[in-house]
Chain A
Amino acid sequence: MKTVRIPPALRSETEGKREVHAAGGTVRELLDDLVSRFPSLRSQLVDGDDIAPFVNVYVEGEDVRTLDGLETEVHDGSTVILLPAMAGGA
């Protein structure tokens, strides 16, 4: 299992959990597993067959768009960070 860090803006979709475990060997498989368990995450993470353009997915601190995108391998013990943009400042 791999650990996926859920940002605060998405926690209402994951029953308030800040981290969830997910199964899969690639980012695509992990996201599929997540979305199957928390279906309302789909519109927040996925756009067609790709990661939504306003969300970044990091594996070991690297943006998967600079790696192999959805096919980026995720090893056991790795942490995946989901990062949507936040604009708050006031």
Chain B
Amino acid sequence: MPSYRDLLQQVKAEIDEVDVSRAREIVDAPDERPLVVDVRELDEWTEGRIPGAIHIPRGNLESRIERAAPDRAQPILLYCAVGNRSAFAAKSLGELGYENVTSLAGGYTDWKRNGFPTEVPRSLDAAKRQRYSRHLLIPEVGEEGQLKLLDSRILLIGAGGLGSPASLYLAAAGVGRLGIVDDDVVDASNLQRQIAHSTERLGESKADSAKRTIEALNPDVDVVTYKERITSENIDRILADGWDVIVDGADNFATRYLLNDASVWHDIPLVHGSIYRFEGQVTVFTPHQGPCYRCLFPQPPPPELAPSCAEGGVLGVLPGIVGSLQASEALKIALGAGETLTGRLLLFDALATEFNEVTLRRDPDCPVCGEHPTITEYIDYVEFCSGRPTHA
């Protein structure tokens, strides 16, 4: 009866082994990179792995390898802690018909001792697993997507009608950092629609009020407040804090054109939403891939032809719908999932309960994102939107 040591020697004689230096060369080869399979147990895997490896514990190897490597000719590099379990694993795969299997002699221990690159796979803790369980069940999100959301940084311009629902849903979804730019304070006339605030917060800064609501909803979110009006003077400083997506919930044309130009120059997608009475518009301006706001509306209307919600009114629930659509677009951008509204303008009419869509195209002559831009630095946006003739 052979001992374990005898059996190991026998198996090692039957399989192909490589040392860590050779393994590193194989792993770094751009064209013939093998499938690297870590056959250790979960607790070992979570403490560190060879970058790009997949995890199939030794006990599940035979049942799961076919899904990971349907082609029996696919080169496979197996490793464990020191190279013993992976030797037995290599023998098993050989018996399953895999033709090109090697085992890493010395295993992960030797790899790490040589100072070769490793990575610690991230995972959600039990509390986050429970909080985001409905996301984890969706194939397009899952654990990897949820970790992406927790790493993402989304800037909201305005904590008002659109910013309230957008910020709450982004926070609930677990977006790791939310920036809120708003210089206003909560007024009684806001509460018909601005659900991030409340009666007891009257007179409080909207940015602070939204931050309190968000933190009560989800303490995972880091909320950065900017209690200032966004302008040509401060926008570069605010964007320098690092944002993946901007959600535009502004209430005036000057801010919208400013955000557009900054989004193109900083190459940050801009999720646009606007509302008036019973109607809303939503789109995504993806710099250099789709049109920008100036491609859509090269010039703002004269002020007398463009009443604001303060002047013309707005159905309270309308920003709830439009702001939620903006949150949905922002989440998809953060996840890299699905098709955004880039190149499409969605029109919503609450009175008729009707959605319409029109096509947006890039304007090759656009002064900001066109082939020969004529506007390359911030202009006087208030002047541009004043209805008086300007050079712009």
Which residues of A61-90 are within 8 A (CB) of B? 61-63, 66, 81, 83-90
- Contact in complex: A89, B273 (CB < 8 Å): yes
> Bound complex: CA of A85 vs CA of B274, how far in Å?
9
- Contact in complex: A62, B359 (CB < 8 Å): yes
Across the interface, name the chain A residue whose C-beta is closest to B255.
A87
Which residues of B241-270 are within 8 A (CB) of A? 248-253, 256
B interface residues, tally (CB under 8 Å): 50
> Bound complex: CA of A32 vs CA of B312, how far in Å?
28
Report the contact-size class of chain A (Cβ under 8 Å from the partner).
20 to 34
Distance (whole angstroms) from the CB of B270 to the closest CB of chain A: 13
| B178: chain A residues within 8 A (beta carbon) | none
| B308: chain A residues within 8 A (beta carbon) | 87-88, 90
- Contact in complex: B274, A87 (CB < 8 Å): yes
- Contact in complex: B158, A66 (CB < 8 Å): no
- Contact in complex: A18, B351 (CB < 8 Å): yes
| B51: chain A residues within 8 A (beta carbon) | none
- Contact in complex: A90, B351 (CB < 8 Å): no
A8 at the interface (CB under 8 A from B): yes
Known: A88-B161, A89-B249, A90-B184. 17 other contacts (CB 8 A): A7-B279, A8-B279, A44-B305, A54-B299, A58-B358, A62-B358, A63-B358, A63-B361, A83-B358, A86-B274, A86-B281, A87-B250, A88-B251, A89-B162, A89-B163, A90-B158, A90-B162
> Which residues of A are interface residues toward B (Cβ below 8 A)?
5, 7-9, 18, 43-44, 52-56, 58, 61-63, 66, 81, 83-90
- Contact in complex: A89, B274 (CB < 8 Å): yes
> Bound complex: CA of A84 vs CA of B296, how far in Å?
10
Distance (whole angstroms) from the CB of B274 to the closest CB of chain A: 4
Distance (whole angstroms) from the CB of B341 to the closest CB of chain A: 14
> Bound complex: CA of A44 vs CA of B301, how far in Å?
9
B277 at the interface (CB under 8 A from A): yes
> Bound complex: CA of A88 vs CA of B314, how far in Å?
9
> Bound complex: CA of A62 vs CA of B301, how far in Å?
21
Among B252, B301, B345, the residue within 8 A (CB) of A84 is B301
Q: List 10 A-B contacts (CB under 8 A).
A: A18-B352, A43-B305, A61-B359, A62-B358, A86-B274, A87-B251, A88-B276, A89-B319, A90-B251, A90-B310
| A63: chain B residues within 8 A (beta carbon) | 358-361
B357 at the interface (CB under 8 A from A): yes
Distance (whole angstroms) from the CB of A84 to the closest CB of chain B: 6
B316 at the interface (CB under 8 A from A): no
| B299: chain A residues within 8 A (beta carbon) | 53-54
Across the interface, name the chain A residue whose C-beta is closest to B280.
A86
